[in-house]
């Protein structure tokens, strides 16, 4: 069996050799396995010779036998997977390392190289400012060599990289050395331009080649996949140096656009595979403004809700950004159709027609016109109703009680370590999780009991003082005390709470009124009315009103296909046709103004088809896919 992509079981099997081993040994084992299986002769290259294990090494013998038994012939591409796979989970969270499939790298590199004549390739500089183990360089160097360049000159004059981890830099050098030796260039030392550093403050002007060139001609790669909450402290401090990171809680990939563009020569090009929600998300606002201000050309291949990377719930797009004044070219496709794309598949979109603040509408003109109609009719949802997020204890398995029995005064509760305690009913509140609801009849059975150590007076909410809690609710206090050590570890023990038994956040502790509950993400418009005014909620959102009829009217509208059409074309996509329903994505949906007779007619309708027909007419829409 020969495959460009290793079966996960092979990688898992290999990992047992890496337990309690240092990076040099792991690297040596991977290199030695490859050299042994390929019968590759290394005579001169000092880097590779320093990583070749003795032939009687037990790990080497055993794994080579495993490969023979399963008829697996390794390729250099497999080594990229090996190196990315053995990065510790902790490091992956910090540096965002992820294996980029070869067909993605091929597409990006081919699209870059086709912009320049082959005879000019040797004069161009190519950077990867988060190079990892060197997958992009492996693809690029192979292409450049096909034009007659030696690997020695490619590594010295054309390829420049940086990565935050030293072992990634070492592995990149090993892979590139193997590529050269396998193609007949076995010299003692290659002059690599691959450095260890944090791209958020790395100064490329110290490299005389890049300084003399005025920057890079091209920058390619896969910026780090690190969410805002996982960014290390040093990088958080450095983010403030990049203007595109100044809206919302910026993920780490966002400044890598600005870093690349500011290190390019005029007319240069960035080619990235990266997260696709920057054109709609709150934390992408400053980057959108940056792009609009400079009017840089952007060609975007959006993979929508398809997950390209194994083991990562990440939604991606390929972006080519030229440091020239141009417009946006956009298309959405699946990875299997990537090579079928032509210029006719892209729609041209003008910056002047986009909103940096609310998000870019990157669709064809007919869809854009429909969205504009929907948003301009009536009043935006966010102005009609208060859109609220649920409470956040940061330890729901303690505060949401696992009730196994009850009497007139107490709930009998199973603790996290299977001990049974009791809690006074008077300190508990009803709570519901909108993510679990699809219809009103489910509410009663899905209500839960929340231990609520707070006092509500009107709109004011205050924590019960510990001594009063201990005296007035001794059983609840004992229950909380039983879990005190666990509660102390919330927010990694770094946050200072009003009291050790306080909720993690103070939001939504007194949302009083009728509620229209809905989930964070959904694959259909699930909106459920709760008439219990003091009902608390978590893991979801609600619209709040004292007017029950108005909630029932808007429920009809939001459960319609008009609303879902809007969401599918404006919201953040997830896998399996799920979409985000966060406030930022729904607040601009227009609620049509209805007469009293129209409201009455709408509320009386039982058939969803009748509702959709009425709303299509009200919104003046003719939608083929509804």
Question: pLDDT tens-digit profile of 115-156?
Answer: 999 999 999 999 999 999 999 999 999 999 999 999 999 999
Helix axes 76-85, 166-182, angle to 10 degrees: 170
Residue 402: how many CB atoms within 10 A of its CB?
16
Question: What pLDDT score does 306 carry?
Answer: 83
Per-residue pLDDT of 272-286, as tens digits, reads 999 988 998 888 999
Q: Of 291, 290, 292, 252, give the one whose Cα is nearest residue 274.
A: 252
Which DSSP string corresponds to 187-239?
-S-----EEES-TTT--GGGSHHHHHHTSEEEEEE------GGG--HHHHHHH
* Residue 169 and residue 195 in contact, taking contact as beta carbons nearer than 8 Å: yes
Q: Which residue has the higher pLDDT, 89 or 322?
A: 322
Question: What pLDDT score does 313 carry?
Answer: 66
Question: What pLDDT score does 28 carry?
Answer: 94
Query: Whole-angstrom Cα distance, residue 110 to residue 391?
Result: 49
The answer for residues whose C-beta is within 8 angstroms of residue 471's C-beta and 6 or more apart is none
Per-residue pLDDT of 523-548, as tens digits, reads 999 999 999 999 999 999 999 999 99
pLDDT at 302 over 80: yes
Q: Of 173, 169, 166, give the one whose Cα is nearest residue 31.
A: 173
* Residue 139 and residue 104 in contact, taking contact as beta carbons nearer than 8 Å: no
Q: What is the pTM of this model?
A: 0.77
Question: What pLDDT score does 91 carry?
Answer: 52
Question: What pLDDT score does 565 carry?
Answer: 93
Mean pLDDT of the chain: 90
Question: What pLDDT score does 493 carry?
Answer: 66
pLDDT at 1 over 70: no
In which element (H, E) is residue 67 found? helix 58-69
Using DSSP's 3-state secondary structure scheme, residue 286 falls into helix
* Residue 398 and residue 483 in contact, taking contact as beta carbons nearer than 8 Å: yes
Query: Whole-angstrom Cα distance, residue 11 to residue 9?
Result: 5
* Residue 50 and residue 27 in contact, taking contact as beta carbons nearer than 8 Å: no
Helix axes 166-182, 135-145, angle to 10 degrees: 30
Q: What is the mean pLDDT of residues 72-97?
A: 70
Question: What pLDDT score does 462 carry?
Answer: 92
The answer for residues whose C-beta is within 8 angstroms of residue 316's C-beta and 6 or more apart is 273, 274, 275, 276, 303, 308, 309
Q: What is the mean pLDDT of residues 203-217?
A: 94
Query: Whole-angstrom Cα distance, residue 130 to residue 273?
Result: 12
Which residue, chain included where needed, has tokens 């993605």? 104
Question: What pLDDT score does 94 carry?
Answer: 42
């Amino acid at each position: 069996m020969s495959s460009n992509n290793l079966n996960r079981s092979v990688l898992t099997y290999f990992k047992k050799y890496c337990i309690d081993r240092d990076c040099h040994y792991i690297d040596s084992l991977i290199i030695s396995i490859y050299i042994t299986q390929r019968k590759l002769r290394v005579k001169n290259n000092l880097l590779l010779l320093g990583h070749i294990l003795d032939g009687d090494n037990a790990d080497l013998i055993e794994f080579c036998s495993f490969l023979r038994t399963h008829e697996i012939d390794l390729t250099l591409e497999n080594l990229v997977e090996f190196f990315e796979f053995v990065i510790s989970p902790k490091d992956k969270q910090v540096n965002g390392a992820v294996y980029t499939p070869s067909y993605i790298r091929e597409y990006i590199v081919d699209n870059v190289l086709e912009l320049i004549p082959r005879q000019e390739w040797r004069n161009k500089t190519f950077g990867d400012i988060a190079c990892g183990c060197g997958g992009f360089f492996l693809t690029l160097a192979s292409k450049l060599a096909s034009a007659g360049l030696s690997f020695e000159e490619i590594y010295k004059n054309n390829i420049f990289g940086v990565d935050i981890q030293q072992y990634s830099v070492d592995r990149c050098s090993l892979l590139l050395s193997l590529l050269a030796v396998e193609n007949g260039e076995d010299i003692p030392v290659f002059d690599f331009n691959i450095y260890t550093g944090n791209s958020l403050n790395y100064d490329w002007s110290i490299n005389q080649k890049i300084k003399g060139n005025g920057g890079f001609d091209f920058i390619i790669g896969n910026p780090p996949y690190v969410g805002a909450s996982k960014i290390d402290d040093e990088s958080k401090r450095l983010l403030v140096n990049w203007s595109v990171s100044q809206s919302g809680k910026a993920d780490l990939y966002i400044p890598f656009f600005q870093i690349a563009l500011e290190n390019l020569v005029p007319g240069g090009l960035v080619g990235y595979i990266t997260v696709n929600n920057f054109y709609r998300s709150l934390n992408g606002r400053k980057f959108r403004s940056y792009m609009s201000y400079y009017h840089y050309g952007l060609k975007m291949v959006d993979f929508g809700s398809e997950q390209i990377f194994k083991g990562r719930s990440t939604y991606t797009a390929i972006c080519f950004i030229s440091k020239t004044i141009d417009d946006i070219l956009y298309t959405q496709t699946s990875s299997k159709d990537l090579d079928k794309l032509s210029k006719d598949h892209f729609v041209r979109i003008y910056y002047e027609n986009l909103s940096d603040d609310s998000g870019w509408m990157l669709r064809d003109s007919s869809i854009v016109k429909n969205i504009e109609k929907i948003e301009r009719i009536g009043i935006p949802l966010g102005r009609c109703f208060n859109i609220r997020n649920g409470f956040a204890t940061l330890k729901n398995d303690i505060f949401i009680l696992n009730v196994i029995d009850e009497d007139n005064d107490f709930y009998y509760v199973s603790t996290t370590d299977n001990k049974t305690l009791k809690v006074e009913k008077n300190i508990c509140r009803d709570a519901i999780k909108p993510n679990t609801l699809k219809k009103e009849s489910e509410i009663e059975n899905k209500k839960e009991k929340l231990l609520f150590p707070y006092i509500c007076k009107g709109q004011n909410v205050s924590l019960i003082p510990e001594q009063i809690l201990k005296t007035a609710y001794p059983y609840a206090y004992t229950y909380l005390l039983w879990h005190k050590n666990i509660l102390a570890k919330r927010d990694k023990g770094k946050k200072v709470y009003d009291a050790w038994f306080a909720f993690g956040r103070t939001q939504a502790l007194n949302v009083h009124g009728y509620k229209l509950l809905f989930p964070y993400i959904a694959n259909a418009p699930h909106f459920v009315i709760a008439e219990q005014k003091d009902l608390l909620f978590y893991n979801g959102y609600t619209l709040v009103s004292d007017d029950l009829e108005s909630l029932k009217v808007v429920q009809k509208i939001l459960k319609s296909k008009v609303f879902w059409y809007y969401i599918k074309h404006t919201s953040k996509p997830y896998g399996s046709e799920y979409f985000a329903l966060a406030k930022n994505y729904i607040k601009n949906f227009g609620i049509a103004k209805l007469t009293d007779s129209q409201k009455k007619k709408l509320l009386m309708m039982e058939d969803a088809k009748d509702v959709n027909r009425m709303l299509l007419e009200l919104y003046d829409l003719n939608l083929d896919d509804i």
